[in-house]
Each structure stands twice: as structure tokens, then as C-alpha cells.
Amino acid sequence: GAGVSQSPRYKVAKRGQDVALRCDPISGHVSLFWYQQALGQGPEFLTYFQNEAQLDKSGLPSDRFFAERPEGSVSTLKIQRTQQEDSAVYLCASSLVSEQFFGPGTRLTVL
Amino acid sequence: AQSVTQLDSQVPVFEEAPVELRCNYSSSVSVYLFWYVQYPNQGLQLLLKYLSGSTLVKGINGFEAEFNKSQTSFHLRKPSVHISDTAEYFCAPGGSGGSEKLVFGKGTKLTVNP
């Protein structure tokens, strides 16, 4: 079956621009996670949904970051007024029980 | 809060040699433990996981790991590596609730040379 998909795969934004990153989880997976992976680092947790409820957003670095999952399936991570330090790969993962399945990520470059 | 330490940032080995990638975590509660592999420009793929039961866990591609509660370690091993094992490896404890966030180490870059 289809895995987790993310779009776009690559995004170049000018500083100050708003961006939206999409995640399509595996069908039926209740939990959805967003992680940020800076160059040469391990992924860092951003936020977690169970169905449409955002249960943990403790990892969002600032109020410029916003995530939603309105119908409990597709999720969007939005970054407003992008800064250079936002440049990273943004990974989405979904899970049903214990194992998280990761998408290929969106590489965001802020110029 | 959970934390995880991957003791080696880079591990170079020759093909067909054994390898051990070290991981230590700190947690006062029961955790699930995972090893993920990341090939260049790709997402993370699960190698193996420890949820409960036997402390020796076998995963894909011939990898295995041993959970040691007293030493809070979960080292990854393979008796004979291939060129295709060259990748970044991440250790990650997860919440005992199952569908909770993973805390990733900084990763170990395994390079297998011919």
C-alpha cells in the first residue's frame, strides 16, 4: 500500500515569505507527527495529532509555526514570515500503534 | 524528559567486518526503543524496535540490538556489513504510551568501505 507522502519535496522561499507543507499519512493511521531535521542533526519533534486533535505542540519553535489536521487525515504545517534558521528538512510520520512510518520529507531552503 | 546519546558520530568499517553502533538513553520510566536508518535524501526507515519481552531484538537487513535496562543502553549490531549499509543511523526512545513523540539522537554515520 501507499506510504506517507509529502509535498512539495523541495521548497525555496525568500525570507519573510509564508510557506505551507503538506503531509498525507497512511490511510487509517490515527497519529500524525511533524519533525524538523536540521543539516547534520537528528530529527526534532515539532507537534503531534491524534485524529484531528493536536495533543502536543511543545516542539514548535515559535508562534510563526502552525499545524492543522482538520479532518483527521491530511495535515499541513504552515510557517509564517520564514527566517533563514527555518531552513531544514520537515518530516511527517504517521502511526497506528507503536511504529512511526516516515515520509520522504520536504526540504525547505530560506534565502 | 527523555534524552538519548549516540556515542559515535562516525563509524568507518570495511566490508564484511562486524559493527556496533552505541546508544544510551536516560529515562526513569518504561520506554519503547527504536533504531531508524536514513539513506541519502530519503526519509527514515525502521530497522528494529523494542517494546517488551526478549531483550535481544532482530530487525531487517541482518541488524539486531540488545536492550540493557541496567545500563540504559540499546546498542545496534551487525556481524558482517555490506557496502549498501552505508547510511545514517538514529536511535530513538519513544513514550510508553506508544503513539507519542520520538526523541532522536544526533545520529551515527556508518561508512562501509570496500
Q: Which of A102, A107, A109 to mutate to test the interface with B (most CBs of B within 10 A)?
A: A102
Gap between the Cα atoms of B45 and A104, Å rounded: 10
Q: For position A108, what pLDDT does the model report?
A: 98
Write the CATH number for A47: 2.60.40.10
Report the DSSP pairing between strands B10-14 and B108-113.
parallel
Quick one: CA torsion of A34, A35, A36, A42, rounded to 10 degrees?
-170
What is the domain range of residue B54?
3-113
Residue B96's pLDDT is what? Answer: 53
Local confidence band at B99 (pLDDT 50, 70, 90 cut-offs): very low
Q: What is the arithmetic mean of pLDDT over B59-88?
A: 94
Please count the structural domains in chain B: 1
Residues of B in contact with A9 (CB under 8 A): none
pLDDT of B98 over the 50 cut: no
Query: Which of B44, B49, B102 has its CB closest to that of A45?
Result: B102
Q: Closest Cα partner for A38 from A96, A93, A84?
A: A84
Q: Is residue A75 part of a domain?
A: yes
pLDDT tens digits for A52-101? 999 999 999 999 999 999 999 999 999 999 999 999 999 999 998 888 99
What is the pLDDT at residue A29?
Answer: 94
C-alpha to C-alpha distance for A47 and A57, rounded to whole angstroms? 4
- B108 compared with A97, residue with greater pLDDT: B108
Contacts A101 to B, Cβ<8 Å: 46
Classify residue A80 by burial, with Cβ atoms within 10 Å: 0-12, 13-18, 19+. middle
Measured between alpha carbons, how far is B103 from B14 in angstroms, rounded to an integer? 30
Nearest chain A Cα distance for residue B44, angstroms: 6
pLDDT at residue B63 in the model:
97
CA nearest to B49 within chain A: A99
Whether B100 and chain A come into contact, CB under 8 Å, resolves to yes
Cell of A22: 503538506
Q: Which residue of A has its CA nearest to B5?
A: A42
Question: How does residue A2 score in pLDDT terms, banded at 50, 70 and 90?
Answer: confident
- A108 lies in some domain: no
Closest CA to A35 of A93, A86, A84: A93
B44/A42 Cβ within 8 A: no
- CATH number, domain of B66, equals 2.60.40.10
**Chain B residues 19-78 with CB within 8 Å of chain A:** 32, 34, 36, 42-46, 49, 51
Count structural domains, chain A.
1
Question: What domain range includes position A53?
Answer: 5-101
Whether residue A50 lies inside any domain: the answer is yes
Convert the pLDDT of each residue in B15-73 to its tens digit: 999 999 999 988 666 678 999 999 987 889 999 999 888 889 999 999 999 999 888 99
Could you report the per-residue pLDDT of A10-67, keeping only the tens digit for each?
999 999 999 999 999 999 999 999 999 999 899 999 999 999 999 999 999 999 999 9
